[in-house]
Structure 1
Amino acid sequence: MEPKEIAKRSAGNFLIFAACAFILWILAAAIDWVAQIVRLSSPERLPALATSIVSSSTLQAIVAIWLLTAAFAIAFPTMLTPLSATTTLMFDVGYGILGALTGFGIAIGLFGGGWSILLRAVIYSALIAAGFIAVRIWLSREDLSTNHRKRWTIAGIIALASPFVLLWG
């Protein structure tokens, strides 16, 4: 699959999930407002949910898994063929999740819950896209197929970055 096709599909997933998450947050806020009127919910319920989404380590885990999988695909190019379907699925799901977090982040920010989740989702999305482009530029298909020092260096850097993202991302 061509990088342009992957980027197009990932961007589509990102936007669809962002729109759905935004609408979901609005619907949840409306239901929570009605539930507060009939005393089935408290005013702290929605802000508590926003706080748990913002403090979730899901985003960090997704990025760390992407990095480690990319490092393995670069270090062991013979695994690239079996990993291609997995990698494509990972990008689809990953960008969908980042899109959903972005949609939640916009809704949470608009309703006074802070912009932290939106900023983190956008920053991670931009870094992943930039990293994908950089690796494509620095590592040609020829470099990937040979036992080249550049390939191992890039794979090592990416592999070492993944646990740091998981722990402190």
Structure 2
Amino acid sequence: MTEREARTKRALGKLWPYPNCTDNQHSQFDGERRILELISLGAPLAGILNQLCIAIDVQIGDVISLVSLANEEENHVCSVTQRAVEVGLDVFSSTGILAVDQTLLGTLEIYGCEPRRPTASEYELIERVSHVAAIALQRHADEQDIERALRRTGGRIAGAHELPPLVN
């Protein structure tokens, strides 16, 4: 098994919250398949996260969500929350987005017009969106690691073998 296959298997096993699910109770949220396709095609991270926020905003209703990246300053998250409260929004949910190794990748924050907490089904949806966001953020981080390694090595990856020239 290659390193990539092993990493993919670990990621799917640890990130997917319903590994043995065969019923419709844990069916995909609206747009999930399209968002997963965007991730697999390497679409820009900002667009993917925007699609995730739109999906959860529409499905829950009367909420607005955002993803704060872990590399942003903590004060940024506090100032966003403070501004949301100042304009009359209530903190509906704040969920950490974790990597496979439990490193914080970001936070999914959801603000509502009415002071209430998520229902059980909304909480499940939030968890599912957080897992998809983790996949997108982890892929983005992996791509950045590869780009840094390529820059360091002058475009060559250690252990990669050159293909022999084609002979006609």
Q: Which has the higher contact order (CA 8 A, sep 6+)?
A: 1
TM-score (norm 2): 0.33
Larger strand proportion of the pair: 2
TM-score (norm 1): 0.33
Larger helix proportion of the pair: 1
